[in-house]
Amino acid sequence: MASMDSTQSGREDWLADLNAQQRQAVTAGDGPVLVIAGAGTGKTRTLAYRVAWLISKGVDPARILLLTFTRRAAQEMLDRASAAVSRGTHAAGRVWSGTFHAVSNRLLRMYAGAAGLDENFTVMDRSDSEDLINLVRQRLGFASRERRFPRKNTCADIYSRCVNSGDDLKTVLQHHFPWCLEWASELKALFRSYVEAKQERRVLDYDDLLLYWLRILDDEAVARSMGGRFDHILVDEYQDTNAIQAGILRGMRRNNGSIMVVGDDAQSIYGFRAANVRNILDFPSQFPGACVIKLEQNYRSVKPILEATNALLEQAAERFTKNLWSERRGGMKPVLVTCRDENEQNDYVIARVLEQYEQGIQLRRQAVLFRIGYLSDSLEAELIRRNIPYRKYGGLRFLEAAHVKDLVAFLRILENPRDELAWFRVLELLEGVGPATAERALGHIGLNGYRPESLLSFDPPVSAAEGMKHLSEALRDLSGGDKLALPAQIERIRGFYDPVFERIYENPNPRRRDLEQLEYIAGGYKSRRQFLTDLVLDPPSSTGDLSGPPTRDEDWLVLSTIHSAKGCEWDSVYLIHASDGCLPADMAAGSKEELDEELRLTYVAMTRAKDRLYVTWPLRYYHRKHRDGDAHSYAQLSRFLDDDVCARFDRATTGQEPEGDLPDAGPLSGLDIRGRMKAMWD
């Protein structure tokens, strides 16, 4: 997001930066306000100015709660607010801000007693939850059944959907996981044990953070106290909150009606998290007396881009926000580029990026967007080869990378030696150690009061003796509190881990940078616990910073999944792999709701562009197995780029014109995509 012009800061008439509707929202009284409006209409700007307005009217910043989708987004908004407030430039820094999860983590520690929690609870990320579910599943004996029990990630999905939707297990299975219906009673037992296991270990998963917050607000006194800390609550991207989050907000506002939420139903992209477009539409009935404000002027995109995105949205089955208009005249039509294959797509994108860089558009003002993390693999390889710095957002998150998890598992053992999952992870890194030996080692440690150094007296199988010795020594050196500074702890761990790492990962070099980055981030922390908590709640958002530290004055090209691009904007946007199967993704083209969501994702992607939009798609996909051969299949252009949308694009092809043996590159390929498209929406 672009920040405000610095010339505007300090001006008394800063409200003149807003149009009439935005100003109405910014200066609204203390009742509930819903701002519902399309992309780029200044919703986020409105919220930032609202913060500034409140502070300028004397509201204590520490009594404002700002809920956003990422920490990055919160920071950017507060920077905008600081720039706008004429007095006290740093006041906005004291605003309570962050994601629902991070704010819950803070509040639950303050109200731990009332919530029946230990204030030192730890938070598990999604893959930890899966692992714990797996452990429980094995202990209950469900894993060894003849017919295959649902996999751990499916179990975690089912659990999360029940919790978030508030529906009972049967209903969730019937609607979303019908092939698991036969396991209903086992799943119920599994989830009960999972909850017990979490409580025994004093851990909360992501869903718990929201659930505990919601439940604790049932108590009148807690609700009064907790809600009473905040004079004003503001929420961005409200279309991606779910019923639990709405319930939390109602609980927080029992005795005070000042709440402002902003969102765009057309950009709702987290349906699979049981988020619900209804949430935003039901706001007026959930917060009686709400004032509803609509914004229709788009300030982000030039007119030709806006026309294309408006046309795209015409396909939506249901929509509530209107077509947008823009005063940003001129500008070029978006370009739809048919590429012969992925390599040509990479070449095309890189050529345009560099061309614009030469024209003075920094790399970081340009972004390449894609539906799923791995779709940028070959582009990344090419960027590395050409020494072009980039940062990748979304996809496999930093903390989910196996090698990062390995290293973090050591720290977790030191922090909480009862953390079985971390023990299993670390023990099974050793050559010659499988689940049985790991279980036996853990039993031994348990008998010795969970002292990590007691591993020294464990009697391992001969094949594992050497590794076990090194591990025990590392743990011995590190046990006994935070004696060493955190980076020194990591260094000692790496003394043990690096040789293991070299052995188990095929291509260790790029991964090594992640370990270095982890060590670097750790340098900013005094306490191991705080470090571990932040890693789970606000993990570094970029990975694959593989081409080295950004050179060229700290400039880098942005690569991002569409999900992680939410709320952002760039001068030039390249949406790659706009082929059916990638967009909509194959896995999400099953039901009408899923397709609807894929369309909204496409809308989110294209509406990130300010001045230039390129949509590219490769005609051929080579099959990885036969990389040297010529085995390939042909792709079709994304069904969302129908005739009406394509008419708003200029067309281009890369390399040679497609030859006779290739299907027509256009949407009128005789395969009647338009017809298929319509049928999907019947």
Least Å distance, CB 237 to ligand ATP, is 7
Least Å distance, CB 298 to ligand ATP, is 8
Which of 43, 577 has the CB closer to Mg ion?
Answer: 43
Which of 48, 522 has the CB closer to ligand ATP?
Answer: 48
Least Å distance, CB 341 to ligand ATP, is 32
Q: Is 15 in the site for ligand ATP (CB under 6 A)?
A: no
By CB atoms closer than 10 A (0-12, 13-18, 19+), residue 531 is buried
Footprint on residues 149-178 left by ligand ATP (CB under 6 A): none
Q: Is 247 in the site for ligand ATP (CB under 6 A)?
A: no
- Residue 429 carries which DSSP code? T
Do you know the residue count of the chain? 682
Which of 2, 585 has the CB closer to Mg ion?
Answer: 2
Inter-CA distances, 420 with 122, 408, 435, 492, Å: 13, 14, 12, 22
Which stretch, 17-25, 95-103, 322-330, 395-403, contacts ligand ATP (CB under 6 A)?
17-25
Footprint on residues 360-389 left by ligand ATP (CB under 6 A): none
Which of 207, 569 has the CB closer to ligand ATP?
Answer: 569
Strand partners, 242: 275
Q: Is 472 in the site for Mg ion (CB under 5 A)?
A: no
Contact map string, positions 134 to 173, toward Mg ion, x by CB under 5 A: ----------------------------------------
- Contact call for residues 301 and 607 (beta carbons, < 8 A): yes
Cα angle 245, 201, 454; round to 5: 150
- Contact call for residues 575 and 369 (beta carbons, < 8 A): yes
Give me the DSSP letters along 106-134. HHHHHTHHHHT--TT-EE--HHHHHHHHH
* Identity of the amino acid at 312: L
Position closest to Mg ion via CB? 44
Residue 22, contacted partner among Mg ion, ligand ATP, none, CB below 5-8 A by kind: ligand ATP
The b/e string for 84-105 (b: 16+ C-beta within 10 A; e otherwise) is bbeeeeebbeebbbbbbbbbbb
Which of 140, 361 has the CB closer to ligand ATP?
Answer: 361
Cα angle 515, 519, 521; round to 5: 115
Residue 299, contacted partner among ligand ATP, Mg ion, none, CB below 5-8 A by kind: ligand ATP
Least Å distance, CB 367 to Mg ion, is 15
Residue 304, contacted partner among ligand ATP, Mg ion, none, CB below 5-8 A by kind: none
* Identity of the amino acid at 48: A
Least Å distance, CB 600 to ligand ATP, is 12
Footprint on residues 43-62 left by Mg ion (CB under 5 A): 43-44
Distance of CA 221 to the CA centre of its chain: 34
Helix, strand, or coil here: 294?
A: strand
Contacts of residue 591, defined as CB under 8 A and 6 or more positions apart, other chains included, come to none
Q: Is 22 in the site for ligand ATP (CB under 6 A)?
A: yes
* Half-sphere exposure in the Cβ direction for 670 (13 Å, CA): 4
Cα angle 523, 525, 531; round to 5: 110
Q: Which of these, 90, 110, 107, 85, lies nearest to 98 by C-alpha position?
A: 107
CB atoms within 10 A of CB 601: 25
Which of 129, 267 has the CB closer to Mg ion?
Answer: 267
Angle between helices 152-165 and 206-216 (to 10 degrees): 20
The b/e string for 546-570 (b: 16+ C-beta within 10 A; e otherwise) is bbeebeeeeebbbbbbbbbbbbbbb
Residue 389, contacted partner among ligand ATP, Mg ion, none, CB below 5-8 A by kind: none
- Contact call for residues 277 and 249 (beta carbons, < 8 A): no
Least Å distance, CB 245 to ligand ATP, is 18
Which of 321, 472 has the CB closer to ligand ATP?
Answer: 321
Kindly tell me which residue out of 125, 207, 240, 264 binds ligand ATP, with binding defined by CB under 6 A: 264
Residue 45, contacted partner among Mg ion, ligand ATP, none, CB below 5-8 A by kind: ligand ATP
Kindly tell me which residue out of 21, 33, 34, 42 binds ligand ATP, with binding defined by CB under 6 A: 42
What residue spans of 28-168 are helical by DSSP H? 43-56, 71-84, 100-110, 112-115, 126-139, 152-165
What is the C-alpha to C-alpha distance for residues 506 and 621, in angstroms, rounded to an integer? 25
Which of 44, 346 has the CB closer to Mg ion?
Answer: 44
Kindly tell me which residue out of 14, 43, 157, 162 binds ligand ATP, with binding defined by CB under 6 A: 43
Q: Is 408 in the site for ligand ATP (CB under 6 A)?
A: no
Q: Is 19 in the site for ligand ATP (CB under 6 A)?
A: yes
Footprint on residues 598-627 left by ligand ATP (CB under 6 A): 607
Helix, strand, or coil here: 432?
A: coil
How many residues at the interface with Mg ion, by CB under 5 A?
Answer: 3
How many residues at the interface with ligand ATP, by CB under 6 A?
Answer: 20
Least Å distance, CB 99 to ligand ATP, is 16
Angle between helices 206-216 and 243-252 (to 10 degrees): 40
Least Å distance, CB 316 to ligand ATP, is 15
Which stretch, 15-23, 100-108, 171-179, 580-588, contacts ligand ATP (CB under 6 A)?
15-23
Least Å distance, CB 560 to Mg ion, is 15
What is the C-alpha to C-alpha distance for residues 199 and 204, in angstroms, rounded to an integer? 8
Inter-CA distances, 521 with 263, 418, 484, 490, 557, Å: 33, 25, 16, 11, 22
Kindly tell me which residue out of 14, 25, 34, 41 binds ligand ATP, with binding defined by CB under 6 A: 41
What is the C-alpha to C-alpha distance for residues 11 and 276, in angstroms, rounded to an integer? 40
Least Å distance, CB 235 to Mg ion, is 11
Pairing of strands 632-634, 609-622: antiparallel
Inter-CA distances, 110 with 95, 98, 114, 213, 217, Å: 17, 16, 9, 11, 13
Q: Is 101 in the site for ligand ATP (CB under 6 A)?
A: no
Which of 222, 291 has the CB closer to ligand ATP?
Answer: 291
What residue spans of 359-434 are helical by DSSP H? 377-385, 402-415, 420-427
Which stretch, 35-43, 166-174, 451-459, 484-492, contacts ligand ATP (CB under 6 A)?
35-43
Residue 68, contacted partner among Mg ion, ligand ATP, none, CB below 5-8 A by kind: none
Least Å distance, CB 45 to ligand ATP, is 4
Kindly tell me which residue out of 263, 389, 467, 567 binds Mg ion, with binding defined by CB under 5 A: 567
Which of 52, 433 has the CB closer to Mg ion?
Answer: 52
Footprint on residues 26-45 left by Mg ion (CB under 5 A): 43-44
CB atoms within 10 A of CB 414: 21
- Contact call for residues 266 and 3 (beta carbons, < 8 A): no
Q: Is 567 in the site for ligand ATP (CB under 6 A)?
A: yes
Which of 156, 604 has the CB closer to Mg ion?
Answer: 604
Least Å distance, CB 599 to ligand ATP, is 16
Least Å distance, CB 295 to ligand ATP, is 7
Provide the binding-site residues for Mg ion, judged by CB under 5 A.
43-44, 567
Residues that bind ligand ATP (CB under 6 A): 1-2, 17-19, 22, 39-45, 264, 267, 299-300, 567, 569, 607
